[in-house]
Amino acid sequence: MAEKISFTINGQPRSVEVEPDMMLIEVIRDVLDLTGTKHGCDNATCGTCMVILNGRAVKSCNTVITKAAGAEITTVEGLSKGMELHPVQTAIAESGAVQCGFCTPGIVIELVAMLDSKPNASEQELTNALNKHLCRCTGYEPIRDGALIAQKVVQEHAVAKA
């Protein structure tokens, strides 16, 4: 039976009617029309469906919608402020990490979740995070380059704020 579930997504409170067995990705893409979150596989392997749920990057294709009740969710659409991109978005765009772009939203979300909470993440931590994502185009090297550039910018922002 359909239930009403409320959460905040990209800063906006939303209440939606859902079937309780629906996955978060279906609600994000098909109910809320936020199509930036991509569907690449059906079993949480490729990582392109990642969103930030209560500060943690999670795969929305295997997150049951009921887990989103009362949560704060950020999708790739929620990262830029108007024309101003998140430093991760800028770094990934400029490092050559974008080819077909289909894995890109998941990778951007992963890095934002990691660097916003842990600007000094070690290279091993970044490697472990990025290893959750499949990319068929880039050979990963430009993604690593973009991650390291983004980290530097995020760290500088943190210093500037402090």
Partner 1 sequence: MEYKYVGKSYIRPDAISKVTGKAVYLDDIRLPGMLHAAILRPQYAHAKILSIDTSEAEKCPGVVKVVTGKGCKFHYGDNIRDLVPMADEKVHYIGEPVAAVVADTPKHAKDALSKIQVSYDPLPVYIDARQAMSEDAVIIHEDMEQYWTLPTLKVVPGTNIANVYQVRKGRAADGFDEAEVVLEGEFNYPFGSCAAIEPHGSIVWFKEDKTIEVWSSSICPFIVRDDLANSYGVPASDVRVHIPDIGGCFGYKSDITVEQTIAWIASFVPGRPVKWVSSREEDFTSTLIGHGIRTQMKIGAKKDGKLVALQVKVLHSSGAYADTGVNVTMAATHNSTGPYEFDHCELTGYTVYTNTTPVGAFRGYGHQEVHLAIERMMDMLARKLKMDPFALRSKNYLHEGSVNALGEHMWKFNGDVAAAAARVQEVVFGHDKPREDDTYYYGRGFAAVMKSPKGAPFSTKGCYMKMNTDGSVNINMGGAEVGQGLRTVVRQIAAEALKIAPEKVRVYTELDTQFSPYEWQTIGSMFTMQGGRAIVRAADKMIAVLKNTAAQVLKTDADYLEYDGEYVYLKADPYIKVAVTELARGYITENGITIGDLAQAVSDARLPRYAAPDKNGQGPLGVTYTFGAQGAEIRIEKKTGKILVDHFASVFDVGQVINPLQIRGSVLGGVNIGIGAALYEEVIFDENGKITNPQYFQYHVPTYKEMPKQTIEFLETPDPIGAFGARGIGEHSVLGPAPAILNAIYDATGVDFCEIPVTPEKMKKALEALKEYA
Name the residues that contact partner 1, by CB under 8 A.
Answer: 29, 33-43, 45-46, 48, 75-77, 79-80, 85, 89-90, 92-94, 96, 98-105, 108, 127, 130-131, 133-144
Choose between 118 and 132: whose C-beta lies nearer to partner 1.
Answer: 132
Supply the minimum distance, in Å, between the C-beta of residue 150 and partner 1: 11
Distance between CA atoms of 36 and 138, rounded to whole angstroms? 20
Choose between 134 and 153: whose C-beta lies nearer to partner 1.
Answer: 134
Quickly count: other Cβ atoms within 10 Å of residue 124's Cβ.
8
Asked whether the beta carbons of 134 and 40 are under 8 A apart, the reply is: yes
Supply the minimum distance, in Å, between the C-beta of residue 91 and partner 1: 9
Choose between 63 and 74: whose C-beta lies nearer to partner 1.
Answer: 74
3-class SS string, 21-56 = CCEHHHHHHHHCCCCCCCCCCCCCCCCCCEEEECCE
Supply the minimum distance, in Å, between the C-beta of residue 28 and partner 1: 11
